[in-house]
Amino acid sequence: MIVADRKSLDEILKMLKPYKKVLLLGCNECVTVSATGGEREVGVLASELKLSRAKDGQEIEIREQTLERQCDHEYIDQIRPFVGDYEVVLSMACGAGIQYLAETYKDKTVLPAVNTTFLGVTLEQGVWSERCQGCGECVLHMTGGICPIARCAKSLLNGPCGGSSNGKCEVDKDLECGWQLIIDRLKALNQMEKYEEIIPIKDWRTSRDGGPRKRIREDLKL
Amino acid sequence: MRLNYPTNIKVVKVPCTGRVDTLLILKTFESGVDGVYLAGCLEGECHFLRGNLRAKKRVQYVKTLLEEVGLGSGRVEMYNMSSAQGQRFAEVAREMAEKIRALGPSPVKKRKL
């Protein structure tokens, strides 16, 4: 899922300073699961904003709404009947959702309430961890199902580097060395011959270096 | 026991402090109360196993939210007592009432949200 962090209330209050009528939009997908921008978090942020404004004797009107998704126009269109009643839209979706809202409602100011951080997994209730950087050319078959791009701080394709010590990364003593994980896993799978293979230089054009990416399936188009 | 506790404390009954959600506490502050405390069972003696421990974590979280908002983290507290500790209940009620009185009225009070 896409994982995000809520922005600090201070930052959000600064962005909202000129506005009194706010449409606060949550998203029912990834940010709900990563407990950043779902219905509950919309409620908490709305309450924080109201308390903060009330404390300073300022008015604020907030409509709380949580869409199924903010990355599909079918759902974004659901706010069309009332979006005009509000001065600003504060979105708690990931960066994709926020941008799609802004693209759809061109005359509306759309503000982000979260910092979108990574593609990851839930390690345990309340703990999320990065697993994928969407580089566009998967090498997991070579690396025991552990991604060297996302899990190695240097994204080395043939590691580890000299900064690996006792299985930890030099970037942070609590951070596991991605390549140590890969080697341990390949050993356990009895596939160390894969480690001997040199992975060639990666063509980063499939990643962000090639500009914003697009996927088309002609058979699905209407 | 005929114990007294401050009359300005309103008791809201819940089946377990684990029922008390973050938003429930925030909404209470929106309504203008000066402070909130949770009176949970003794730790390790929750009928639902972890209800009071969950409540404790939520209270800690609400403290950070109230600090962020500017109301101050001291307006919300978690206490633990058993249902047989009437004396302790009255003592905590007095303690919390005094603490909130010292903090003064909530700045949100009597202001329309």
**Number of C-beta neighbours around residue B63 at 10 A:** 18
Cβ–Cβ of A47/B30 closer than 8 Å?
A: yes
Residues A121-163: tens digit of each pLDDT: 999 999 999 999 999 999 999 999 999 999 999 999 999 999 9
Q: Look up the domain containing A17 and give its range.
A: 2-118
SS3 B14: coil
Q: Are residue A111 and residue A143 in the same domain, yes or no?
A: no
Q: Which residue of B has its CA nearest to A54?
A: B108
Residues A8-54: tens digit of each pLDDT: 999 999 999 999 999 999 999 999 999 999 999 999 999 999 999 99
Residue B110: the pLDDT is 62
Q: What is the mean pLDDT of chain B?
A: 94
Map out the domains of chain B as residue ranges: 20-83
Q: Which residue of B has its CA nearest to A48?
A: B69
Query: How big is chain A, counted in residues?
Result: 222
Q: Are residue A7 and residue A80 in the same domain, yes or no?
A: yes
| CA A80 – CA A67 distance, rounded (Å) | 12
Query: How big is chain B, counted in residues?
Result: 113
B contacts of A52 (beta carbons < 8 Å): 69-70
Residue B13 scores a pLDDT above 60:
yes
Residue B109 scores a pLDDT above 90:
no
Q: Are residue A84 and residue A192 in the same domain, yes or no?
A: no
CA-wise closest residue to A68 among A19, A118, A128, A27: A27
DSSP-assigned beta bridge partners for residue A115? A5
Q: Is A126 part of a structural domain of the chain?
A: no
Q: Is A107 part of a structural domain of the chain?
A: yes
| CA B94 – CA A3 distance, rounded (Å) | 44
Q: Are residue A142 and residue A111 in the same domain, yes or no?
A: no
Instruction: Using DSSP bridges, classify how beta strands A61-67 and A21-27 pair: parallel, antiparallel or unpaired.
Output: parallel
Residue B68 scores a pLDDT above 80:
yes
Q: Which residue of A has its CA nearest to B30?
A: A51
Q: Closest to B69 (Cβ–Cβ): which among A43, A48, A59?
A: A48
Identify whether the C-beta of residue A48 lies closer than 8 Å to the C-beta of residue A90.
no
CA-wise closest residue to A101 among A75, A80, A70, A78: A70
CA-wise closest residue to A115 among A89, A92, A90, A88: A92
The least confident of A155-159, B1-5, B53-57 is B1-5
| CA A61 – CA A46 distance, rounded (Å) | 9
Q: Are residue A63 and residue A98 in the same domain, yes or no?
A: yes
Contact residues for B34 (Cβ-Cβ < 8 A; gap 6+): B75, B100, B103, B104, B105, B106, B109
Residues A34-44: tens digit of each pLDDT: 999 999 999 99
Q: Which two tokens stand for residue A34?
A: 């990563």
CA-wise closest residue to A92 among A61, A126, A65: A65
Residue B112 scores a pLDDT above 80:
no
If one counts the domains in chain A, the total is 2
Could you tell me the CA-to-CA distances from A25 to A33, A96, A135, A155, A215 in Å, in that order? 16, 14, 29, 35, 27
Residue A217 scores a pLDDT above 60:
yes
Q: Are residue A72 and residue A168 in the same domain, yes or no?
A: no
Radius of gyration of chain B, Cα coordinates, nearest whole angstrom: 14
| CA B36 – CA B24 distance, rounded (Å) | 11
Q: How far is A164 from chain B (nearest CA, A)?
A: 36
Q: Is A128 part of a structural domain of the chain?
A: no
Residues A71-127: tens digit of each pLDDT: 999 999 999 999 999 999 999 999 999 999 999 999 999 999 999 999 999 999 999
DSSP-assigned beta bridge partners for residue A129? A121
Query: ipTM surpassing 0.85, yes or no?
Result: yes
Q: Is A215 part of a structural domain of the chain?
A: no
SS3 A216: coil
Which of the four pLDDT bands, split at 50, 70 and 90, describes residue B1?
confident
Q: Are residue A51 and residue A148 in the same domain, yes or no?
A: no
Tell me whether B53 touches chain A (CB under 8 Å).
no
HSE at residue B55, side-chain half, CA atoms within 13 A, is 29
Q: Are residue A66 and residue A146 in the same domain, yes or no?
A: no
Residue A151, H or E segment: helix A148-151
What CATH number did the domain enclosing A37 receive?
Answer: 3.40.50.2300
B contacts of A50 (beta carbons < 8 Å): 30, 113
Residues A184-193: tens digit of each pLDDT: 999 999 999 9
Q: Are residue A112 and residue A137 in the same domain, yes or no?
A: no
Q: Are residue A159 and residue A202 in the same domain, yes or no?
A: yes
Q: Are residue A165 and residue A94 in the same domain, yes or no?
A: no
Q: Are residue A113 and residue A69 in the same domain, yes or no?
A: yes
| CA B83 – CA B54 distance, rounded (Å) | 19
Number of Cβ pairs < 8 A linking chain A and chain B: 47
Q: Is A182 part of a structural domain of the chain?
A: yes
